[in-house]
Amino acid sequence: MFYTSLFIQYKKNIKPDSKVRGFTLIEVMIVVGILAGLAGLGLFVSVDLYKSYTFYSERNIVISIIQKARNQSLVNINESKHGVYLESGRYTIFQGENYVSRNAVYDEIIEAGPTISRTGLTEIVFDQLNGNPNITGNITLSEGLRSSIISIENEGRINW
């Protein structure tokens, strides 16, 4: 009898009708779907940010190269004109009247970004001491929907 009363007492503490707590399969699938959507959006935004960064970085490199060639002409390094030759895949800062008759020993070659397309001026030579360019015009850099125009003016001013 003692054991029977213990068993009855034990059975009263167990609730066979109680619900098991946890997540259902559909709840887990909804959460995973939301997380996948957020991760996909984050990946899209980060790739776009990276492309934007590389494009504007390339633009700043081209501007810096042109400014460097102009500054070398202004301070009359080696008593010579200096210029920039922009070709696909690389940029060259050179010393001389033009790219063809340059002194190749003084060339400084900078590799260009592979995904950026460039149109417009290809060779700019700056006069000694005053920094005036031999040609004025625009250089257009583009990649996908992004584009930027770099203008070279009469007195050597570089606008972007």
In this prediction, the residues of the chain whose per-residue pLDDT falls under 50 are 6
**pLDDT for the residue 127:** 94
Alpha-carbon distance of 5 to 81, in angstroms, equals 109
Q: Which two tokens stand for residue 55?
A: 């494009």
**pLDDT for the residue 10:** 53
**pLDDT for the residue 30:** 93
**pLDDT for the residue 13:** 56
Tell me how long the chain is: 160
Give me the CATH code for the 25-159 domain, please. Answer: 3.55.40
- 65 and 81 Cβ atoms separated by less than 8 Å: no
Q: Which two tokens stand for residue 154?
A: 């009469």
pTM of the prediction?
A: 0.73
- 156 and 131 Cβ atoms separated by less than 8 Å: yes
CB atoms within 10 A of CB 27: 10
**pLDDT for the residue 45:** 76
**pLDDT for the residue 1:** 53
